[in-house]
Each structure stands twice: as structure tokens, then as C-alpha cells.
Amino acid sequence: MVGCPRNEDDAIMLHLYHKLHVEIERATMGTDIAPAYLAAIVSLESHPPGNRSSERFEPYVYQRLVDLKNDNRAFGKIKRESLVFMSDAEIRQLATSYGLTQVMGFHCLELGCSIQDLRGPYHLQWAVGYMMRHYGPHARKRDWNACFRIHNTGLPDGTPARKDYVDQGLMRMQYYQRWMDTRGDVLTFN
């Protein structure tokens, strides 16, 4: 039996393996983030999977940032002082998620990177930095269920808008691991 993709999810992970594996390995090396986890996040967050140019403006986040700037209403750990001199266009950039993993622009404030960094060739390194900062202890325990939930909702027990988000992520991790084990060779026997 030839080791071809079993279904569409498996085919997506094979595609990502061939397109991004070297970058995924480089970004995760020496961290608690598993390459299969990062690949699964890429498959779930970028549209189509592997599209580096993926961006999504979040109106709710934008309004929260505007409220923080104008009325000093708390929003996470962001300080009003970091927004006070920003233009509306800059705040819109902070309220947009970027790239292969859809890290929100406002995370640049804590990571010390720019929006261009999130759009650039080192997106995966910045994304892994974000992951380690926000859910590193869960990754260390290999609690991928919690990691998927935190990445999507901010909470380890949060409910993603897509009901299959966590299950699909866990399944895609298994597929990606299979392609890692066979080095992406579709001629490897099962």
C-alpha cells in the first residue's frame, strides 16, 4: 500500500510539509513548540493553508483598542501610553492578525517586533515567541488541546468559534508527524 494522503486534511499537511517544513523546524528548534503543532496551527489559521499573506481585521479588537486609547478602558495588559500617539491606521494594524499563524498585531507591543515582522520572512519565529510567552507551560506538558484553545481564544478552556478547531488541529498534528517520519515521501509504505 502506497503512503499517499488519506484525505483532504492529510493532503493539506503533506503540502505544508513540502512547502514549510524547513522553516517550521528552524522556528521550533530548542523550544517546547512541536513542529507538528506549529504546522497544524498554520493549517488552521492561514487561508488557504500556507498563505503567508493571510490577514484578518477584528472589529471587536479595534473597538477595544480605541476604548483603551480614548477612555483608558483596560484591554489585557496593554498600556494606554503605548497607543496614545498612534493614528487610527496604526490602531487598525494592531487589530489585525497576520501571516501563517494569525498573530494579532497588538502582540507586537509585548514581543518587541513590528507589524512588518509579522508579515515578513521570520513570521514563524515571532509566532513561536508569542506561543512560548502565552502558553509555553502547556506546550511543555504537551497539552496541545489547551494550546489550540489558547491560540484561538486566549483561554486554556476557551471555546473556539469553529467547533472542530481543536479536534481538527489534533488530527492534523498526527498527519504532519506521519509526513515528518517519512520525510514527506509518498512512496513510503505504511
Helix (H) or strand (E) holding 96: strand 96-98
Please list the pLDDT of the chain residue by residue as tens digits (190 residues). 346 888 999 999 999 999 999 999 999 999 999 999 999 999 999 999 999 999 999 999 999 999 999 999 999 899 999 999 999 999 999 999 999 999 999 999 999 999 999 999 999 999 999 999 999 999 999 999 999 999 999 999 999 999 999 999 999 999 999 999 998 777 654 4
pLDDT of the residue at 187: 65
pLDDT of the residue at 137: 98
From first CA to last CA, the distance across the chain in angstroms is 7
pLDDT of the residue at 188: 58
What contacts 8, CB < 8 A, 6 or more positions away? none
Taking alpha carbons only, the member of 190, 40, 145 closest to residue 101 is: 40
pLDDT of the residue at 185: 79
CA distance 149 to 86: 31
